[in-house]
Amino acid sequence: MSFAELGLEQRLLTAIESKGYTVPSPIQEKAIPAILAGNDVMAAAQTGTGKTAAFTLPLLQKLAKGQRAQANQVRALVLTPTRELAAQVAESVSTYGADLPLTSTVVFGGVKINPQMMRLRRGADVLVATPGRLLDLYQQKAVKFNQLEVLILDEADRMLDMGFIHDLKRIMSFLPKDRQNLMFSATFADQIRSLAKGLMNNTTAATVKQWMCPVDKKQKPALLQELIVTNQWSQVLVFCRTKHGCNKLAKWLVGGGISADAIHGNKSQGARTRALAQFKAGEVKVLVATDIAARGLDIDQLPQVVNYDLPNIAEDYVHRIGRTGRANQTGQAVSLVCADEIEFLESIEHLTQKHIDREYIDGFIPTHEVPPSRDLRALKNKKPKKPKLRNQEPSAQAPRQRKPQVKSALSKSNQRNTPKSPSRDGQPAKQNPWNKGPSKRPAR
């Protein structure tokens, strides 16, 4: 595949040739078409894989078709963790956009802020910045984001490691909601995924057809077999909620004459690798998997995904159906829903902000009808919970001390006079000079 096949214009192709590049890297092949289509992109890419060009090239092409940035305005914002990376990205923007009528600038800490404020007065189509300096400029009203179209987080995992999570949240709070979001990270830890949930729009590719079949729970296996045979599906990825359910369904399909296999956490790594290889090669028609076992699966041109059980976590539904319809290919996601799963269904529709179409299959009309979905409610930004400290630090206040007991002089007569124990060497213990003991006055 060449860069011209990715949909880039001639001016960018000329700049690419001047850099000596002829064939796009894997991250560029996947990211450039998606960005040009206006989709939000979250990509795992190490340094040196060509990720900078993966978002710079389509970004410049999109910005070249719009209106120029006005005074103090920014149309595309690229956030980086370090000034070195910021300078590198800014250089790539200048190199690839040399023949385009666009302006760009870079701002970071450690240098005087006044020259940066002067450059921003003219506006910038592309602004590359580190989070700390960007906040300083925003507080001084040197930069505005009314025209912002695209937000890019480069090396997001490194920004979180360096403690920029609060700065990122502050920056996103004053950016316009209607924008395209791009995130590039070497790893996707839990903190990165939680950030992406609030950043990325939970939308699915337009090439994926989503529909559901209301059915009784006992009729699900027969309905799945009917759909596979009637529609002549040759490759189907089926998601079940439990490991036992995966084994039971795969065994049932094999008994019905359909080649199937299961992968889940109890399977050995060798068995899972072998089942996945057979599925990709077409030797196995149906692969039944749990959400955990299916993580990291990358199957080209997967036509069908079936939710045999709806996930109890709505975000897992987006990840499931995202395995089909890739690289501008068409696909469909089918969900077999029984009446007991109405709460899971409503959570999914609330997250995707879309009602899933219902289609009834003759011979499988449910006895227990799935209730109609409720009206969609707008998504709300949840306030982050305060983290609980595992190791509680001791209180700064001094511990309360017990008041000393004051013995009355009248009580001495009631105290038991115990003989003093001799010392270890056999000598009598020395008497405390401050303790005079009983009076030795002779009796009169």
Q: Give the DSSP letter of residue 39.
A: -
Token pair 């996947």 is found at 30
Contact 108, 78 (CB under 8 A): no
State residue 381's pLDDT score: 47
CATH of domain 4-199: 3.40.50.300
State residue 202's pLDDT score: 46
Tens of each residue's pLDDT in the chain, 444 residues: 788 888 899 999 999 998 888 888 888 988 899 899 888 888 876 666 788 999 999 999 999 988 899 999 999 999 998 888 899 999 999 999 999 999 999 999 989 999 999 999 999 999 999 999 999 999 999 999 999 999 999 988 788 878 888 888 889 888 998 899 998 877 666 666 666 666 655 444 455 789 999 999 999 999 999 999 999 999 999 999 999 999 999 999 999 999 999 998 888 878 888 888 899 888 999 999 987 655 556 666 788 999 999 998 887 887 788 777 655 567 889 999 999 999 999 998 888 778 999 999 999 999 999 999 888 876 554 444 454 555 544 444 555 666 566 555 554 555 555 555 555 555 555 565 555 555 555 555
Q: Compute the half-sphere exposure of residue 64: CA atoms within 13 Å on the CB side of its CA.
A: 19
Residue 112 — φ and ψ, nearest 5°? -65, 140
Going across the sheet that includes 124-129, the strands are 41-44, 180-185, 150-154, 74-79, 124-129, 104-107
Token pair 């190199």 is found at 95
Query: Which CATH topology does 208-358 take?
Result: Rossmann fold (3.40.50)
Q: Domain locations in the chain?
A: 4-199, 208-358
Angle 389-394-397 (CA atoms, 0-180°, nearest 5)?
130
Prediction pTM value: 0.49
Across 57-102, the runs of DSSP E, i.e. the strands, are 74-79
State residue 5's pLDDT score: 87
For 9, 212, 213, the CA distances from 346, given in Å and listed in that order, are 43, 13, 15
Q: What is the DSSP string of 424-435?
A: TTSSPPPPPTT-
Helix (H, G, I), strand (E, B) or coil at 128: strand
User: CB within 8 A of 88, min separation 6: which ones?
Assistant: 52
Helix (H, G, I), strand (E, B) or coil at 198: helix
Token output for 263:
């992968």
Q: What is the DSSP string of 92-117?
A: HHHHHTTTSS--EEEE-SSS-SHHHH
208-358: same fold as 4-199?
Answer: yes
State residue 204's pLDDT score: 47
CA separation for the pair 107, 124 (Å, rounded): 11
Which of 109, 152, 112 lies closest to 130 in space, CA to CA? 109
Q: What is the DSSP string of 383-414?
A: PPPPPPPSSPPPPSSPPPPPPPPPPPGGGGGG
